[in-house]
Chains A and B, each alone.
Chain A
């Protein structure tokens, strides 16, 4: 099968949908001839024209609201937010409007929109352009939250997100844009709320999101050399969360490490860990659950410091080994 990049897969998912459905359009800052801050929409204005690839002013509140208002009245907008950090400026519209309109209105009206946005660190853009704020959005009933990790997944998940009748926050890790993978040319959909076991193993489960899926897979390769068999589960969507797949994996391995780039404190890893703690998989645990996440610090500029602020492969290896060395001792 042909290989394309994660970025090309995002563009292809949008373009194929826009060819089929006139209600789908994209709006955002610099998405026209510039092609978007990361080049995701390059070529799209040439194909679809400025009516359907709408270049907007730098007005994150208004463009989020315009997306919501158009969704409420029959369009299916895709809003590209230049950096996920800027969701702070769209927050009222996403949290108080998009997420709640349907409920507040007693089930009348729907908001079928996707907010796509590049997230994460690793580009040297420092504290205001490098955050991973997905946990905020998972806290809001009414929103769905997607965090793809591969080119194949991003194409199928984006189609599902566009087809969904609810507001979906769709995070694209910047460092994944150039990663390649096998991606079918035809359209396909990956249902929201279905995790994927990226690697099977028997000794420990790592649940990792976005770029951490790749770091966990790297760690698994290293650990295999030492005879440790790691299973890597990628939830792919945080809301809805496929707890069943995670629970099944933990029952099999009896050990769990949760990894995300976002700051560990208040991060979504806590939700995953407690989902296990509250489930019958708890009885299967042979060691305390381990969480690996970003340090509680703004993302620094210096490449050395930036790298140190978020989990790296050795941190994951260490966490896995800790869970293997620690046992829950039960006294009869």
Chain B
């Protein structure tokens, strides 16, 4: 995975700095959520993507506004990277009316259909067929958007994964299947649950390109997605990108992480995608003080989102039966 990575030509230094800030937004958002769960301030459950910021930010940065994404149960990063409003996200986790889903969806169902975030999904692999359907609309209505479909290593063992990729392949649909291989589906390690080296190798079985990348290297993510998105947009069909990464936190709030070692966790923390990106930016001559100020701004934005959420009203009981049918 030690490829020489060049920047996609359309990416300016300013854009890179934005992405750096965005990655911090994602990290601070999920760390804040983690803290609230630990304190019992939020109920239900949540899945955090701390350590996986480069996949969300890198991949989505290569999309146009018209493009769409489908996300997963570990979807806060995807939502933020797609331009999601952290106030509405935090409010949703607090179950408030100002949340993205008016308090009806919670962490696993944040969506913003109008801006092309077709939603997180509580069913592993559940969003993959939906991405194919959205790509079908793009093709049939000639809307020229691409769908970026996030899924995890666990989802690649679901039937919906195989059915959907085959369907997208035979119909040449504009969809990029982006696997965030964070090494574990809950407690099941990818080594234990599959008998192949790379999930992207499965692309061969469907007659589409598959590529394995370092998911903690944002530039590598950007390059791979840029290429796959262009291919899809030009009518050359889908592809699979497998980004190897790691979730620093447990699967959900109740995870004692007995299935992996602390040493392994430490190893991956040394591959921190944000720290690596910072080093790259410094090498490009971007001022460290400026980068630190972006990080501070991100922190403040998340703190503000908490204030927004906690000051927002809870839903009225009248809203219970609303929105079941259109």
Contact = CB atoms under 8 A, between A and B. Distances in A.
B129 A66 contact: yes
Contacts of B136: 66, 69-70, 75
Contacts of A60: 163
Contacts of B111: 101, 104-105, 108-109
A56 B137 CA distance: 16
B207 to A, nearest CB: 13
A104 B105 contact: yes
A74 B326 contact: no
A70 B237 CA distance: 17
Interface string B143-166: 000000000000000011001101
A270 B138 CA distance: 44
A68 B118 CA distance: 11
B132 interface: yes
Contact of B141 (A57, A75, A110, A166): A75
Tell me the dominant secondary structure on chain A's binding face: mixed
B112 interface: yes
Contact of A65 (B100, B132, B170, B324): B132
Interface in B102-141: 102-105, 109, 111-114, 118-119, 121-123, 126, 128-138, 140-141
Contacts of A112: 326
Interface string A80-123: 00000000000011001100011111111111100000000000
Given A65-B128, A73-B68, A92-B123, 18 more contacts: A52-B140, A57-B166, A59-B167, A66-B136, A66-B164, A69-B131, A71-B133, A72-B134, A73-B138, A74-B141, A93-B160, A97-B123, A97-B126, A101-B119, A102-B325, A105-B104, A106-B100, A109-B113
Contacts of B118: 69, 72-73, 109
26 contacts: A57-B167, A57-B170, A62-B132, A62-B160, A62-B164, A65-B126, A65-B160, A66-B132, A66-B136, A68-B129, A69-B134, A93-B160, A97-B121, A101-B111, A102-B324, A103-B104, A104-B104, A104-B105, A104-B109, A104-B119, A105-B109, A105-B119, A106-B102, A106-B104, A142-B325, A144-B325
A241 to B, nearest CB: 14
A105 B101 contact: yes
A312 to B, nearest CB: 37
Interface in A285-332: none
A42 B124 CA distance: 37
Interface residues of A, number: 46
Given A62-B167, A103-B104, A141-B324, A108 B112 contact: yes
A67 to B, nearest CB: 6
B99 interface: yes
Contact of A69 (B102, B109, B112, B133): B133
Interface size of B as a range: 35 or more
Nearest to A67: B133
A142 B123 CA distance: 17
Contacts, number: 153
B163 A62 contact: yes
Interface of B: 68, 70, 99-105, 109, 111-114, 118-119, 121-123, 126, 128-138, 140-141, 159-160, 163-164, 166-167, 170-171, 322-326
Interface in A260-276: none
Interface in A7-40: 23, 25
B160 A74 contact: no
A203 interface: no
Contact of B133 (A23, A66, A104): A66
A327 to B, nearest CB: 40
Name the 6 nearest CB pairs between A and B, nearest first: A65-B129, A69-B133, A62-B163, A106-B101, A107-B323, A59-B163
A136 to B, nearest CB: 17
Contacts of A68: 129-130, 133
A72 B104 contact: no
Interface string A154-174: 000000000001100000000
Contacts of B159: 61
Contacts of A257: none
A69 B69 CA distance: 11
B134 A106 contact: no
Interface string A122-163: 000000000000000000011010000000000000000000
